[in-house]
Amino acid sequence: MIKFLIKGILRDRSRSLLPVLVVATGVFLTVFMSAFLKGIFNDITDINARFTTGHVKILTRAYAENKDQVPNDLALMDVGKLLTRLQADYPYMEWVERIHTGGLIDVPDSLGETRGQGQAIGTAVDLLSPGTIEPDRMNIKKSNVKGSMPAKHGEALISDDFAERFNVSAGDNVTLFGATMNGSMMFKTFTVSGTLKFGNTILDRGAIFMDIRDARQALDMDDAASEVLGYFKDGIYDDIKAQQLQASFVSKYTVEGDDFSPQMFRLAEQDGLGDYLKLAESAGSVMAFIFVIAMSIVLWNTGLLGGLRRYSEFGIRLALGEEKKHIYKTTIYEAIVIGVIGSGIGTGVGLGAAFYMQRYGLDISGITNNIGMMLPSVYRAEVTPALFYIGFFPGLIATVLGSALAGFAIYKRKTAQLFHELEV
């Protein structure tokens, strides 16, 4: 019977074309939007992990309570010893130390007098050690638009917007003014090796990136760091593993009541990223639910119109002795076949679009220049194994539900009226 139904569907396009197109469109949107939304949420999470949160972050209790003020007087001490212990206890993690500071960048003229000043957000990472991957992790190399990467101590990178505003070129000197870890005045002169443009207002407004050893010397932070970030070596954040790591860390390193005791924070606990992770996990289910409802309504109406057109057909089948129950079942079987065909087409097209967006992405740098959030400049879809079958749920459920609702009209046919209809 299935073979007979398939032949009927393929030969009678007026009966199957519109439902197949509706299902294919809905499934395409479900698959593509699920991939794209998951990619967006993961990109937002990833860029924040690389620049600010890590997969886990270690701070002192006092620093964590005042982190918006960048209080380096409350920073982690004996970081070398701490890193050695962390690497021994958790070898599946990669640990990096960073220093953050704020202040002013002073731009001198040819006589050494100030010709311009601007606010600066200083970030110190490991730029010069052999084999360091911090420049790649923070996308510093790809964001280097003028000049080159620092090659020796005393060199730094500044934001390209700042450089253009004050007419600073590679090779010029700038002086960073701020406060040391001990609260005294700090000024450190750097040679600008190049400029950076991340496509993000926070980073492009007045950033300066330097090697962490230069920062330690300037800020009197010998063997100290603002924070230690941990990354899973596979590069993928897993909140369950992070919770287990956090529990282990607290039992070994955290001392209750000590303001300088190290505290660990998971990515999901920082900057509201936990909500993004939940949205990323549920994006596919939400999209499927929305399109099940929408397509069910459309297919219900399509089924009603098709039932009116096939009114005489159902009447003849009933007059020949076919049971209403059997006719109703065949309409459900037809719906399943149409759902499979439409879902297959929609899934194929949706995967093709998702693969394209995963490779090339959508560049939104033109509209993020004035946004203060940490957002990626290019959004990409993420193709996952679930996309190969997620579209079949709304495709089949909506088709069957629509046909089931429309098919109740079969039971309203009265046998007494059949011969009169046939005579007409």
What per-residue confidence (pLDDT) applies to 141? 87
Compute the distance between CA of residue 179 and CA of residue 186 in angstroms, rounded to an integer. Answer: 5
Residue 96's DSSP bridge partners are 229
Measured in residues, the chain has a length of 424
pLDDT of residue 12: 61
Give residue 410's Cα distance to chain centre.
48
Q: Are 402 and 303 in contact (CB under 8 A)?
A: yes
- Report d(CA 114, CA 46) in Å as an integer: 39
> Among 249-258, 396-405, 406-415, which stretch is predicted with the lowest mean pLDDT?
406-415
Which segments of 310-391 does DSSP mark as H helices, in order? 311-319, 324-360, 387-390
Domain ranges of the chain: 2-47+275-423, 56-234
Residues 6 or more apart whose Cβ sits within 8 Å of residue 248: 89, 90
Cβ–Cβ < 8 Å for 54, 229? yes
Highest-confidence range of 37-51, 115-129, 367-381, by mean pLDDT? Answer: 115-129
Mean pLDDT along residues 219-234: 93
pLDDT of residue 309: 61
Q: Which pairs count as long-range contacts for 314-317, CB under 8 Å and 24+ apart, including other chains?
A: 314/410, 314/413, 315/413, 315/418, 315/421, 315/422, 316/422
Structure tokens at 264: 């660990």
- pLDDT for the residue 10: 60
Token pair 């549920």 is at which residue? 282
For residue 48, the tally of other CB atoms under 10 A from its CB is 21
The answer to whether residue 158 scores a pLDDT higher than 90 is yes
Please say whether the beta carbons of 185 and 219 come within 8 A.
no
Q: What is the mean pLDDT of residues 175-189?
A: 89
Helix (H) or strand (E) holding 125: strand 114-125
**Token representation of residue 400:** 């069957």
What is residue 372's predicted lDDT score, i.e. its pLDDT? 45
Any bridge partners for residue 107, and if so which? 116
Average pLDDT over residues 17-33: 83
Q: What average pLDDT does the segment 167-193 reach?
A: 90
pTM: 0.74
CB environment 155-194: b (16+ within 10 A), e (fewer) = bbbbbbbbbeebebebebebbbebbebeeeebebebebbb
Min mean pLDDT across 15-19, 111-115, 245-249, 258-262 is at 15-19
The stretch 44-50 carries a mean pLDDT of 84
Average pLDDT, integer, range 273-298: 72
Residue (of 63, 87, 48, 42) closest to 266 by Cα position? 48
- Determine the pLDDT at residue 289: 75
In this structure, what token pair is assigned to residue 386? 């679930």
Query: What would the pLDDT profile of 289-344 be if each residue is shown by its tens digit?
Result: 777 777 777 766 666 665 556 666 666 766 677 777 777 787 788 888 888 888 89
Q: Cβ atoms within 10 A of the Cβ of 248, count?
A: 13
The residue that leads in pLDDT, 2 or 21, is 21
User: E strand or H helix at 7, and its extent?
Assistant: helix 2-11
Asked if residue 43 lies in contact with residue 380, where contact means CB atoms within 8 angstroms, the answer is yes
Give the model's pLDDT for residue 373.
46
For the stretch 144-154, pLDDT in tens is 889 999 999 99
What is the band of 109 on the pLDDT scale with cuts at 50, 70, 90?
Answer: confident
Q: Tell me the pLDDT of the chain averaged across its residues.
A: 82
Look at residue 170 and give its three-state secondary structure: coil
CA proximity to 107, closest of 98, 99, 117: 117
Res 27: pLDDT: 86
Strand-strand pairing, 224-225 and 76-77:
antiparallel
Q: What is the pLDDT of residues 206-219, one digit of tens each?
A: 889 999 999 999 99
**Most confidently predicted of 106-115, 222-231, 302-311, 354-363:** 222-231
Structure confidence at residue 112 (pLDDT): 78
Residue 211 CB-density burial (10 A; 0-12 exposed, 13-18 middle, 19+ buried): buried
Q: Is the CB of residue 200 less than 8 Å from the CB of residue 368? A: yes
**CA atoms within a 13 Å half-sphere pointing along the CA-CB vector of 338:** 32
Q: What is the pLDDT of residue 79?
A: 93
